[in-house]
Amino acid sequence: LVRPLQKKSSVFKMLRMMQFLSRINEGENLDCTFDTESELTPLESSLNVLDHLEKECIVSENCTAKIKNAIKEMAVLVCLKNAEFVKASDVLKRVFGNDPSLQKAREA
């Protein structure tokens, strides 16, 4: 028996939060992918879900800035911990590629 999903915003918010937490939970499992068309790690994928949470006005960007930075750092560290150095380099470029503070550090 399958019950239809009620179209309430609270249900969608709860599902989005569950998506976020499931990706965080699988963060150390680099073989796990949530997006079949991309090579994102679970932690990188959680950043995408967090962006959706912000857009859907569940949380403000001010509240998530520190969380996003911590997730980005952990995404790289998990790859390093698992000796996946090429993947760590790719993740670093994807998540911090547009960060102006890193660009200045590279030039120095």
Using one digit for the tens of pLDDT, what is the confidence trace for 56-85?
776 777 788 889 999 999 999 999 999 999
Residue 39: per-residue pLDDT = 86
Q: 64-86: string of b/e by CB count within 10 Å (b at 16+)?
A: beeebeebbebbbebbeeeeeee
Given a cut of 90, whether residue 24 has pLDDT beyond it is yes
CA dist 54 to 62, 70, 84, 89, Å? 10, 17, 31, 27
pTM of the model: 0.79
The per-residue pLDDT for 35 is 81
Give the pLDDT confidence of 2-16 residue by residue, as tens digits: 666 666 777 888 888
Contacts of 34 (CB under 8 A, 6+ apart): 19, 22, 23, 26, 40, 42, 45
What pLDDT does residue 63 have? 81
Q: What is the pLDDT of residue 56?
A: 79
Amino acid 88: pLDDT: 93
Q: Can you give the pLDDT at residue 73?
A: 95
Q: What is the pLDDT of residue 93?
A: 92
Phi-psi region of 84 (alpha: psi -120 to 50; beta: other; left: phi over 0): beta
